Amino acid sequence: MDATEAASKLEQELEEDFHGSTVFRGEVSVVIPDSRIKDALKFCREALSFDYLVDLSGIDNMDEEPRYGVIYELYSYQYGCHLRIKTGVDEAERELPSVVDLWPTANWHEREAYDMFGITFKGHPDLRRILMWEGYPFFPLRKDFPLAGKQSDMPDVAFSESAPLEGGPFVTSPTSAGTDKREPRSRETHS
């Protein structure tokens, strides 16, 4: 079985809840709505023997609907193939079913997605922040959160300040011009 076959088996299982698959450079991605994501992942784990959750990551597609998303990277040791499953997360609810019962490794990945984007996972055994400290009031990887950060204070735990960016963030753009043109510059002065 390869990834394309797996995608078509998933399509047979979910029928109208299968929102299409794309292939880019041999990588198969399928889109599943959040209402059926747990069923789809359970089917992948149990029937299609995708026994390894390589990664689970959140994404913020600001100004798009749905705003948030979660991407599951699956791998099957039995068949040696990858499958990417994408799902949208509603901005108001920001909740998905947890997959810790299917892949224990999802525990920390879901905590990270919660920490950075504020997406909660229903049924997670221990949904705490993993990188930032408990009590930090923001979700730093959201698109509307400034790179410099925001001021916060959690007495005896940690505080944070806004970092001085001095005109940054500095970006480069691809060019064949000399090094003086290729230097990272602030977005405003970039033409």
131 binds another protein (CB under 8 A): yes
Q: Report CA-CA distances (Å) from 189 to 86, 164, 176.
A: 37, 18, 19
Judged by CB, which is closer to another protein: 62, or 163? 163
One-letter amino acid of 171:
V
Site string for another protein, 169-188 (x = CB under 8 A): x-------------------
Site string for another protein, 146-165 (x = CB under 8 A): xxxxx-----xxxxxx-xxx
Q: Can you tell me whether residue 33 is helix, strand or coil?
A: coil
Q: Can you tell me whether residue 27 is helix, strand or coil?
A: strand
One-letter amino acid of 163:
A
Give, for 40, the enclosing helix (H) or strand (E).
helix 37-46
Least distance to another protein, CB of residue 137, Å:
12
Residues within the interface to another protein (CB under 8 A): 131-133, 138, 140, 145-150, 156-161, 163-166, 168-169
